[in-house]
Amino acid sequence: MKHNFGAGPCILPQEVFKQASQAVLNFNDTGLSILEISHRSKEFIAVSEDAIKIVKELMNVPEGYSVLFLQGGASLQFAMVAMNLLQEGKKAAYLETGVWAKKAIKEAKLFGEVEIVASSKDANFNFIPKGYSIPEDAAYFHITSNNTIYGTELFDIPKTNVPVICDMSSDIFSRDINVADFDLIYAGAQKNIGPAGATLVIVKDEILGKVNRTIPSMLDYKVHIEGESMYNTPPVFSIYVSLLNLKWLKSKGGIAAIEKENIAKADALYQEIDRNPFFKGTAAVEDRSRMNVCFVMENPELEKDFLKLAEEKGCIGIKGHRSVGGFRASIYNALPITSVHVLIEAMQEFAEKHK
Ligand code: PMP
């Protein structure tokens, strides 16, 4: 049995894989595959509407927000956010908490001035900066709620009058958040939403339409809102599997229930990292991510051996990102706590063997 700790695309529930494969052969008893039906068919329009509805329901999205399934990944959102929201002559404020934030900043600079209000770059992004101020006249303030590579998570959403934009790619649907604290949330689907190919955007309608620049249709949120995520052919399979996965989440008790499980999984793993003298965590304790648990070995020469043992036990995808080294165990929603226990046992067995 494999225990998939991959950072994304990542594990999804087995039952979702089964339902998805059934739909490839015969979608809802239509005698057709989900892959061959028209995106404008009543069957697929129902899928798209249900997917948007379940996002609104699970996240308690208030009135005045639109939910979109787009393409281009979170990386296209880096540019779309600035293109749609950075008014001419204004500046955008960014919190620099990792490579993804840096990439977002790079794209924003194409459209205007950017102010980095705080950065943890000098510490290889191992913590979330705090105590900074956000310029009152900024067009918006951009944060990354979970830094997938470094295993840090932003738990205190800054309070500000400036619109807050959040890259929630790697912790969306993992914990309760108040959508009203944000003006735009975006996330690539390939972690807690579904398979790669779709990008979820939740945007407060009133922040749009304030820039004068020409925006190509495909990059204009308003065009996609008017087209109800059907301006062009949407990523039908990714949206369908996302719907299945979000239904699974709902059946488990929604975000409140999964958040409890996620806390239990993260607590168990961090406890072992702190207890076991062979391992140490890399992120500041108060900013430790519940989705991506990053750790190294006290003796880096042993890392190859531990990786081998973990792989023998079926734990895959735990090699750390090259910019941090060591290990990263991604413990997204669909990863059961039993898999976390297998990894913990491997850590204990390794310590026992090498003491
Ligand atoms: N932001 C974060 C926090 C991510 O983890 C990732 C991808 N892992 C991205 C952005 C980029 O997403 P995509 O590959 O969908 O463009």
Ligand 1 contact, 145 CB (< 6 A): no
Pocket of ligand 1 contains residue 292 by CB under 6 Å: no
Ligand-binding site membership of 100 (annotated): yes
Mean pLDDT, rounded, of the chain: 97
CA distances for 247 relative to 128, 135, 282, angstroms: 33, 40, 35
Is 97 annotated as contributing to ligand binding? no
- Ligand 1 within 6 A of CB of 152: no
ipTM attached to this prediction: 0.99
At residue 293, φ and ψ (nearest 5 deg) are: -100, 110
Token representation of residue 94: 């960014």
What is the torsion angle, in degrees rounded to the nearest 10, for the CA atoms of residue 107, residue 110, residue 111 and residue 116?
60
Torsion 198-202-205-209 (CA) sign? negative
Q: Give the H or E element holding residue 310.
A: helix 303-312
Least Cα distance to 118 among 105, 104, 126, 129 occurs for 129
Q: Is 8 in the pocket of ligand 1 (CB under 6 A)?
A: yes
For the beta carbon of residue 58, count every other beta carbon within 10 angstroms.
Answer: 18
What is the spatial distance between Cα 4 and Cα 30, in angstroms, rounded to a whole number? 33
CA of 311 to the centre of ligand 1 (A): 25
Give the Å distance between the CA of 171 and the centre of ligand 1: 11
Omega before 9 cis (within 30°)? yes
Residue pLDDT, tens place only, 310-346 = 999 999 999 999 989 999 999 999 999 999 999 999 9
Q: Which two tokens stand for residue 149?
A: 């590579």
- The whole-number pLDDT of residue 238 equals 98
pLDDT < 50 positions in the chain: none
Site to substitute for ligand 1 among 69, 80, 81, 100, most atoms within 8 A of C-beta: 100
- ∠ CA(285), CA(289), CA(293), 5° rounding? 90
40 in a labelled binding site: yes
Pick from 91, 170, 179: nearest CA to 138:
91
Per-residue pLDDT at 355: 87
- The answer on whether 267 is annotated among ligand-binding residues is no
CA of 94 to the centre of ligand 1 (A): 16
Q: Is the CB of 330 under 6 A from ligand 1?
A: no
- Nearest CA to 199 among 177, 221, 223, 175? 221
Active site residue ranges:
100, 167, 191
* Domains delineated in the chain: 14-251 (3.40.640.10), 254-354 (3.90.1150.10)
Q: Is the CB of residue 238 below 6 angstroms from any atom belonging to ligand 1?
A: no
Tell the residue nearest (CA) to atom 5 of ligand 1.
Answer: 148
- Among 152, 109, 103, residue whose Cα is nearest residue 127: 152
